[in-house]
Amino acid sequence: MTIAKLFEEIKRKKSFLCVGLDVDLDRIPESFKNNQDPIFDFCKSIIDATAHYCVAYKPNIAFFEAYGVKGWQALEKTINYLNENYPEQFTIADAKRADIGNTAKRYAKAYFEHFNFDSITVAPYMGRDSVEPFMEYEEKYTILLALTSNRGASDFQLNSNGDKLLYEQVIDTSKQWNNFEQLMYVVGATKATALSQIRKSIPNNFLLVPGVGAQGGSLAEVAQHGMNDQCGLLVNSSRGILYASSDEKHAESAAKAAKKLQQEMSILLRKNGLV
C-alpha cells in the first residue's frame, strides 16, 4: 500500500484508528473457548465489527507466538483474512524485530513476502544494517521504535549525548538511510509534548502512536502535536476495543468503542482541515 492510498482511506473513513490485535485467550468470551481456532475466530469477529471505523490492524505477534505452531496458524489465517476481505486496511506486524543484515533479511521475507503485511515494527539498537533490509521493499513500511509509551522508555531512550536524546539521535540518524520515506516511527501517546519536536524533525513520515486509552495518553493532544497535512498519524487501541466487554455482545461493544474513537478522530481531522 502507498501512503497516498492510506491517506485516502483516512479521509474516506474520517479515522486514523489502528486496532491492535492482542488476543489473550483468558480474556475472550467463553463462547469462543471450545472453538478449534479461538484466536482466529476472535480476531475475525473483532475485524468484522470494527473495519468500518479503522484504517489499520496491528496483530501483536507475541500474542500469537505464545501458542507456538497453533498461534502461527492463527496469525496466517488472520493476515490472509485481512488481505482477502479488507485489502484497503493497512496491516502492521507488531513484531519489534531486528538483527544483523542476513538475519534481518529473513524477518523481512517472513512478514513482507510470506505473510504479506504492509509494515512491521523494528527496534533500532543494532543500527542501520539491521533495519535497511526491511526498507528495500517497495510499498512496504518499516516502523522504527523511537520513543515508546512504557516506563522503561526512560532507561535508554532519554539518554542524552549532551546535544540530543537517544530517540532523537535514532530519528536523525535514520534520515540518512536508504528509502527513508518508507520509514514510520513509534511514538507513545503518553509523550504527546515530545511529538511537536519529533514532527518538526520528520514532517512527512507517519507516526504509529500506542498508549491512548489503557496507558493514559490523550487523543486530542496527539493530534494537536503530531498531525501533518496527510494526517501522518495512526493511533492504536488494543485492549479498550478487544475487551470492551467479554460477554456475548463483545463484537457490538468493540464496534461501539471503535466508533467512539473514530468520531473523536473525525472532529480532529475536521479541525485540521483534512476532511
CB 180 within 8 A of CB 134: no
Rg, C-alpha atoms of the chain: 18
The answer to whether residue 69 forms part of the interface with a copy of itself (CB under 8 A) is yes
CB atoms within 10 A of CB 107: 19
What part of residues 181-220 is at the interface with a copy of itself (CB under 8 A)? none
CB-nearer residue toward a copy of itself: 87 or 152: 152
Q: Minimum distance from CB of 79 to a copy of itself (Å)?
A: 10
Phi first, then psi, for residue 26 (nearest 5°) are: -75, -15
The answer to whether residue 236 forms part of the interface with a copy of itself (CB under 8 A) is no
Measured on CA atoms in the order 245, 95, 3, 87, is the torsion positive or negative? negative
Q: Grid coordinates standing for 256? A: 461501539
The answer to whether residue 106 forms part of the interface with a copy of itself (CB under 8 A) is yes
Region near a copy of itself per CB under 8 A, out of 3-11, 147-155, 228-236, 252-260: 147-155
What part of residues 14-33 is at the interface with a copy of itself (CB under 8 A)? 22
Number of residues that bind a copy of itself (CB under 8 A): 57
- Name the catalytic one among 96, 105, 256, 260: 96
**Given candidates 59, 124, 217, 226, which one binds a copy of itself under the rule CB under 8 A?**
124
Q: Minimum distance from CB of 263 to a copy of itself (Å)?
A: 27
Active site annotation includes 96: yes
The answer to whether residue 96 forms part of the interface with a copy of itself (CB under 8 A) is yes
d(CA 95, CA 108): 11
**Given candidates 44, 97, 140, 259, which one binds a copy of itself under the rule CB under 8 A?**
97
Nearest in space to 204 (alpha carbons), one of 176, 224, 185: 185
Nearest in space to 60 (alpha carbons), one of 48, 50, 74, 70: 74
Q: Residue 250: which residues within 8 A CB-CB, separation 6 or more? A: 28, 29, 45, 243, 244
**Given candidates 36, 152, 193, 200, which one binds a copy of itself under the rule CB under 8 A?**
152
Q: Minimum distance from CB of 147 to a copy of itself (Å)?
A: 10
Q: What is the DSSP letter of 231?
A: B
Phi first, then psi, for residue 82 (nearest 5°) are: -65, -50
Q: Minimum distance from CB of 228 to a copy of itself (Å)?
A: 25
d(CA 175, CA 129): 14
| Residues with a known catalytic role | 96
Binding interface with a copy of itself (CB under 8 A)? 22, 60, 62-63, 65-69, 71-73, 76, 94, 96-104, 106-107, 109-110, 114-115, 123-131, 145, 148-157, 159-162, 166, 169-170, 173
